[in-house]
Chain A
């Protein structure tokens, strides 16, 4: 009934934290989430998804919680990476992690008045009724006390053209002692919105969770739907998805390396990066009809065969390859720029592991984890490539990891174009089994993306859980910025390239 690499393990609530701690020693924690399954068996459920290092399998610990007792002993003291997930479950379902070190709300701002939006018996209309926009938020920021400590509040509206969020810096002189981010200003109720659409109609929404990860998100979503319905898409559709995921990585990584120049005030470097990115965006548009690679993924496959435009891909990427090579040489020669990156925004391997970092941010701190290799999907199983790591965990390492990955994406695209891929572009929809569920996943430009979906008794969505890379990586920024100077914050932030919308949902 479950896809074959998903291994569900029932655990009692009393044992849950200990079991999670045991698994986290030799597994990567992928996500923790809850679902309101009362309509199926009268219970809420909590799931913790782990993947064993070096094996293509998911060990999913799950516990049942009765409506009358929605609390359990918090996992966070044993597994720090659980901290945001537990706060999220508390806000969205009212499931209480007893003994969690942080009692503050995470996703729900004060105006919501304490409704639990993801409970199935709470409708969108109920939530709207509970909302009072003038209600005080009452969020208490973490305080640093001592002589000379002062606070700098920033946001939610920032100076540049970027997404909204609030940052509270506690600084001494120029040095940041602590950063307390307050996010979820762009919380829209996306997961609930998925429930009001059919599984087949969710693709459009998954594409709009985070603008520059549109295609990775829709690929992971489609994969979950296809796995649940037992649909095996054709090798051709798989190759198209693989190629387009790499196109998305390319424009993100190259754009990010350019954006880091904006963080050091290096206008020429920024302009060069923006030019390269723009030519990739124009290629995206020609290939898929969308600069953000939207509208090509559908459940059951894809709408276009991008290999028809192989000549355009090859010639455009030839130009970008040369341009990128010169761009990197130019940056690495620019001492004033590189000097700002080295040693800045350090994230140690230990913290990255403990807090569950993902993507280039994890690999720049020496963690060799890449979903494309850990759980080969689409065409990745037949491709040969490395997970590139750097050890130091500074801004420079995050730039260099991206550079290696750009080269890697070029070669993946080349080898995909060399082969012929057979099969239909799109296969017909399967049936959604009542109570069926499945994971969907991929490695997006910012790191791993996970979806978990479950069908209700009538085959409609009971739960669509979205776990974007940024949800894992946002908490890291407080560690990375500790001890740095305030003017370096934009640079460190850009080196992580975090999505607000993808995190806030």
Chain B
């Protein structure tokens, strides 16, 4: 046991996650991963708080957000955190087509956020209802309830795509 702990502390660690970082930042100047973590730091300034709101998703979109916290992606090392309250959030990340049952809750979450508010619709459902478009119990996308600043396509978008799109959206919002 003790030996294991010492080995863990001083042993050579496999460089997990480098591919994941490359996928998250995308190709910069043709070279994969150039300025990888640097770009993450430049955009997020080591602090971004995201409140995720499930507005009737199938749950795959949430699992991809959850995966961002696993040791492969481990986005908290760049200062990115998913928070429990909208009061602490810079961004709300909406998933799902907005079921009627969640419309009020989504609106309230948005209102509870401090300014400036950024809303990102994550997944095809949140964009326009996706596969659920036209069903009687949905409002065909997040924009029907809250103003949306950007979209992340995919069903579900991969964890890397979620991170990359959030970065792109924040960059263009800052301009």
Contacts and interface: CB of A to CB of B under 8 A. Distances in A.
Given A185-B99, A292-B156, A161 B66 contact: yes
A268 to B, nearest CB: 10
A281 interface: yes
Interface string B133-158: 01111100000000000000001101
A211 B57 contact: yes
Contacts of B61: 211
Interface in B62-95: 62-67, 69-72, 82, 84-85
Nearest to A273: B70
Contacts of B101: 109, 111, 156, 164, 184-187, 504
B56 A501 contact: yes
Nearest to B129: A188
A117 B135 CA distance: 11
A163 B70 contact: no
Given A190-B135, A193-B134, A278 B102 contact: no
Interface in A180-202: 184-190, 192-193, 196
B128 interface: no
Q: Report the contact-size class of chain A (Cβ under 8 Å from the partner).
A: 35 or more
Contact of A188 (B54, B67, B103, B135): B135
Interface stretch (A26-34, A123-131, A402-410, A451-459): A123-131
Contacts of A111: 100-101
Nearest to A109: B101
Interface string B32-67: 000000000000000000001111111111111111
A212 B60 CA distance: 6
Contact of B137 (A162, A188, A285): A188
B70 A292 contact: no
Contacts of B137: 127, 187-189
Contacts of B96: 186
B70 A211 contact: no
Contact of B100 (A131, A156, A160, A196): A131
A163 B54 contact: yes
Interface string A366-378: 0000000000000
A274 B105 CA distance: 30
A210 B131 CA distance: 13
B84 A186 contact: no
A501 B100 contact: no
A106 B74 CA distance: 39
A419 interface: no
Q: Among the interface residues A112, A157, A161, A164, which one has the most CB atoms of the partner chain B within 10 A?
A: A161
Interface residues of B, number: 44
A263 to B, nearest CB: 14
A163 B84 contact: no
A163 B57 contact: yes
A95 B12 CA distance: 66
A122 B62 CA distance: 33
Q: Among the interface residues B52, B57, B61, which one has the most CB atoms of the partner chain A within 10 A?
A: B57
Nearest to B50: A161
Interface string B92-119: 0000110111111100010000000000
Nearest to B133: A193
A160 B84 contact: yes
Interface in A4-46: none
Given A156-B102, A211-B59, A189 B70 contact: no
Given A161-B82, A193-B135, A196-B134, A186 B56 contact: yes
Given A156-B105, A160-B84, A186-B54, A214 B60 contact: yes
Given A162-B54, A208-B58, A278-B71, 10 more contacts: A133-B100, A159-B84, A164-B101, A186-B54, A188-B97, A211-B59, A271-B70, A271-B71, A278-B72, A499-B59
Interface of B: 52-67, 69-72, 82, 84-85, 96-97, 99-105, 109, 130-132, 134-138, 155-156, 158
Leading 5 A-B pairs by shortest Cβ distance: A211-B60, A159-B84, A211-B59, A189-B137, A185-B101
Interface of A: 109, 111-112, 117, 124, 127-128, 131, 133, 156-157, 159-164, 184-190, 192-193, 196, 204-205, 208-212, 214, 271, 274-275, 277-278, 281, 285, 291-292, 294, 499-501, 504
